[in-house]
Amino acid sequence: MLRSLSLALLSTVLIPTLGLAEPLKNYSPVTQERLSNPEPENWLMAKGNYAGWSYTPLEQISASNVKNLRPVWSYSTGVTSGHEAPPIVNNGVMYVATPYNQVIAMNAKTGDSVWRYKRDFPEGFSAFHYTNRGVALWGDKVFVAGLDCRLVALDAKTGKVVWDVEVCDWTQGAYITSAPVAVNGKIMIGPSGGEFGVRGFLKAFDAETGKEAWTFWAVPTPGQPGSETWPKDGRWKDAWKIGGGTMWMPGNYDTKNDVLYWGVGNGSPWLGDQRPGDNLYVASVVALNPSDGKIKSHFQYHWNDSWDWAAMNAPTLIELDRDGKKVPAMISAQRNGYLYRLGRSNEGQISFLDARPFVKNTVFTSVDPKTGRPTYDLAGVPGTGRAGTYCPSVWGGKDWPYESFNPKTGMLYVPFNDNHCMKYEGKIQERIPGQWSAGVDITDIKLLIDKDVKYIGGIQAIDANTNKEIWRDTYAKSWMWGSILSTATDLIFTGGTSDRMFRAYDGKTGKEVWSFKTNSGIISPPISYAVDGKQYIAIVSGWGVDSALVQGIMADEHGWEKDIPQGGTVWVFAVEDDQATGKRAETGSGIK
Amino acid sequence: MSDETTQAPCPCECAATGWPRRDILTAAIALLMAPTATVLAAGEPGAGAPPARAPNPKALRPQPGDRFAYLSGENKDKPVMAADIKIGDPPRLAYPVDPATETIRSGSRVNQVLLIRTDPSALTPATAPRAAEGIVAYSAICTHNGCPITLLDGDNRSVVCTCHGSRFDLADNGAVLTGPATRRLAGLPVAVADGFVTVAGAFTGALGAATSQ
């Protein structure tokens, strides 16, 4: 009880230090110009830039010195559950979001905490996943979205709440895990809840006032374009109201042409036969106008989704070499197990270029080379009262973790999971607000993995120009839950395995060149930044959520290690060039 | 946001309802956390606190004598009759109802209760005294992440939260059989009167999932 009391008293209370900490005395306001052209030393948004590259132009840490990479500081968040937020860094100050919607501001050089924002949810609160995928920056504010469906603006210097607005209704099963995205003074965010009958949307709010600017509904209202792909009458005429299509990951932004590209999640309930039709914009990428949220175009990866193959990951914005010219394009390893290349025009029109499987997909019998529309093997389509067996399982060929694109080499690095399938039979489930109503009970979903499976998780390195795989690394005893960071020096960094390792690879060959065992499994994206001219690599280690759930299944059914330690820790690494003298970097707190 | 949360006042409203010692202590701590809320009954810890304001009857915890109303489905808001609940039926999710005013206590999510009927001979000594004709009642809010629990397991005595698969034994005091939940479900004593299932006491433990860390 004493613990409850102290927690209650601490909730939403800030823990400021006396006076402003060093990096905050001259806090650099975040402008559109800075977000469009982020300085190499900063990591201003979840994927590092609007194109979604998860790439650092910094060049100090390279193949020749990576063996000397050492932790220079770490920081325990004191929070359990899955830590999925990358550190966000702006000129020497680091912001880390944690499960339970806390934000910790730290001195990025020393690891000293500057302020901490805590939140207490209402009594009886529920959310399917208690994770958070990071903050957004704009002006002198930090934005964090909440499991309790609130978008909160904090003063970047003090952590004080500037505004706090409602985005969705948690009592109906909606919850927010996504990092918000800041574009032109608006903060964009969408909730999760595709297993709870939530109709997906993206909302934009004014960064200064919190006033709502627009809403884009991922399932169109009857009469709107796209609504013709939903049942108009009969038993399923109201399917659109609970149709899913939640937009639960940050989108990408074409700064030159002012076009947003956002991913749309799975259909709800999972059974496509409970919402006959193609079901736009479920399992699609949509191009939106950031000023008013109006749709410009879309591409649907697969119609009438019945597999929970959510397309929440926006495609990575790249350019392809075509006849000696650079052509704007997009590339995306999707949850359905196919790797897509798409065209994008200056006007935001999306076109299909090609698609190929990057893991085993047992459902698609063909993909139309002109339109990208797949045909299905009905044995792989679960229905109401009809079992379907399909690969990949709900966790997909690639789940939410970020792929990485290295613009210097044209390589795309994909964290993937293969050789896992699923069987389930659907039913009609009463929708009880706040309870899972995906059309199948969690106890009736069977994950199917061969006993002698050679691997599940891994990394694929793909040449974006040729679409060919160059190398892969595979994990015999682990799924892959980690995002990837690529560097200008042709290294990649990633975690994601159940052995708690943080690894660096040679980007060209796939050879592992460095590793470090952290406190827990890593499911947050690695990032890089620099302070006072010194490059750092940062990661938050904190296993949980789906990685822990699947690990439990693997332990029970395949004898894998059961208990992966939980609890979040921020780790920051640098090349210790002063090793010879035995001097540590300046991370002391001045207590001596 | 629905009025479920906006209307829910502090947890100390339950303090004036003759709860057992453990809950009085909870209430006292709650009073410390929210000093402007309802005054406690004279003689209880915390007497002398600021003046009372009328408790919100919708958000009061279940009161002895309350009946139940279905919280969803085609029978939403209709009374839960003992005869409606049979062994092997899925859990009935319900809110307590003040029989005098017919106020449904839906003002707080932790008032969601699940009811099942079990074989009376299977009930453990901790559970049997608060069951009625084999009917047992528990908080419906999973102690893991707070989802309402809706699935009966094949043994007709345990329930499964279909969000993450936690299982609780309702014949044995709500004990956790399978995680990820780590804390048992709080029970709610019930009786049967005039065919209605009624409340016969207070929740026997903490409600819901952790709200912060």
**pLDDT tens string B36-89:** 333 333 333 334 445 556 778 998 999 999 999 999 888 999 999 999 999 999
Is B211–A1 a contact, with Cβ atoms under 8 angstroms apart? no
Cα distance between residue A439 and residue A300, in whole Å: 22
The 10 Å CB-count burial string (b at 16+, else e) for A442-458 is beebebebeeeeebbbb
State the residue for tokens 């929210």.
B34
What's CA A572's distance to the chain center, in Å? 21
If asked whether residues B72 and B52 sit together in one domain, one would say: no
Examine residue B211 and state whether it is found in any structural domain, yes or no: no
If asked whether residues B98 and B135 sit together in one domain, one would say: yes
Examine residue B206 and state whether it is found in any structural domain, yes or no: no
Structure tokens at B133: 């004709």
Q: Is B7 on the interface with A (CB under 8 A)?
A: no
pLDDT of residue B21: 39
- Give the residue with greater pLDDT, B51 vs B116: B116
pLDDT of residue A582: 45
Helix (H) / strand (E) containing A10:
helix A2-10
Task: Identify any residues that bridge with A103 across adjacent strands, giving them in sequence order.
Answer: A97, A117
Cα distance between residue A264 and residue A280, in whole Å: 9
Examine residue B204 and state whether it is found in any structural domain, yes or no: no
Nearest to A120 among B164, B208, B212 (CB): B212
Q: Which of B10, B33, B56 is the last residue of a domain?
A: B56
If asked whether residues B79 and B158 sit together in one domain, one would say: yes
Examine residue B136 and state whether it is found in any structural domain, yes or no: yes
Of the listed A254, A278, A308, A506, which one is catalytic?
A308
If asked whether residues B79 and B148 sit together in one domain, one would say: yes
Instruction: Look at residue B31 and tell me whether its pLDDT is greater than 60.
Output: no
For residue A592, the distance in angstroms to the closest alpha carbon of chain B comes to 32
Which residues of A are less than 8 Å from B70 in CB distance? none
pLDDT of residue B25: 41
- The model carries a pTM of 0.89
**Mutation for A interface: B109, B110, B111, most A CBs within 10 A:** B109
Put simply, the chain B residues between 50 and 69 with a CB less than 8 A from any chain A CB are none
Question: Into how many domains does chain B fold?
Answer: 2
pLDDT of residue B14: 35
Tell me the pLDDT of chain A (592 aa) as tens digits.
334 433 333 444 455 444 567 778 889 999 999 999 999 999 999 999 999 999 999 999 999 999 999 999 999 999 999 999 999 999 999 999 999 999 999 999 999 999 999 999 988 999 999 999 999 999 999 999 999 999 999 999 999 999 999 999 999 999 999 999 999 999 999 999 999 999 999 999 999 999 999 999 999 999 999 999 999 999 999 999 999 999 999 999 999 999 999 999 999 999 999 999 999 999 999 999 999 999 999 999 999 999 999 999 999 999 999 999 999 999 999 999 999 999 999 999 999 999 999 999 999 999 999 999 999 999 999 999 999 999 999 999 999 999 999 999 999 999 999 999 999 999 999 888 888 999 998 889 999 999 999 999 999 999 999 999 999 999 999 999 999 999 999 999 999 999 999 999 999 999 999 999 999 999 999 999 999 999 999 999 999 999 999 999 999 999 999 889 999 999 999 998 655 444 554 555 455 5
Residue-range definition of the domain harbouring residue B43: 1-56
For residue A329, the distance in angstroms to the closest alpha carbon of chain B comes to 38
Which residues of B are less than 8 Å from A549 in CB distance? 164, 180
**Mutation for B interface: A126, A130, A549, most B CBs within 10 A:** A126
**Mutation for B interface: A6, A10, A125, A129, most B CBs within 10 A:** A125
Backbone angles phi, psi at A151, to 5 degrees: -105, 125
Is B8–A123 a contact, with Cβ atoms under 8 angstroms apart? yes
If asked whether residues B124 and B168 sit together in one domain, one would say: yes
Q: Quickly count helices (H) and strands (E) in chain B.
A: 2, 12
Examine residue B205 and state whether it is found in any structural domain, yes or no: no
Please provide the average confidence, as pLDDT, over all residues in chain B.
80
Would you call A308 a catalytic residue per the annotation?
yes
Nearest to A127 among B11, B25, B145 (CB): B145
pLDDT of residue A65: 97
pLDDT of residue A4: 40
Instruction: Indicate which CATH number applies to the domain containing B81.
Output: 2.102.10.10
Backbone angles phi, psi at A297, to 5 degrees: -165, 175
Nearest Cα residue to A315 out of A291, A295, A286: A286
If asked whether residues B39 and B128 sit together in one domain, one would say: no
Cα distance between residue A6 and residue A144, in whole Å: 24
If asked whether residues B110 and B82 sit together in one domain, one would say: yes
Is A125–B146 a contact, with Cβ atoms under 8 angstroms apart? yes
Q: Which chain A residue lies closest to B70 (C-alpha atoms)?
A: A432
Is B2–A169 a contact, with Cβ atoms under 8 angstroms apart? yes
Which residues of B are less than 8 Å from A11 in CB distance? 211-212
pLDDT of residue B17: 34
If asked whether residues B78 and B133 sit together in one domain, one would say: yes
Task: Identify any residues that bridge with A144 across adjacent strands, giving them in sequence order.
Answer: A152
Cβ atoms of A272 and A304 closer than 8 Å: yes
Examine residue B17 and state whether it is found in any structural domain, yes or no: yes
For residue B73, the distance in angstroms to the closest alpha carbon of chain A comes to 7
If asked whether residues B45 and B72 sit together in one domain, one would say: no
pLDDT of residue B43: 33
If asked whether residues B84 and B51 sit together in one domain, one would say: no
pLDDT of residue A576: 84
Examine residue B102 and state whether it is found in any structural domain, yes or no: yes
Examine residue B52 and state whether it is found in any structural domain, yes or no: yes
Q: Which domains does chain A have, with CATH numbers?
A: 2-581 (2.140.10.10)
DSSP state of A139: B
If asked whether residues B30 and B112 sit together in one domain, one would say: no
If asked whether residues B190 and B120 sit together in one domain, one would say: yes
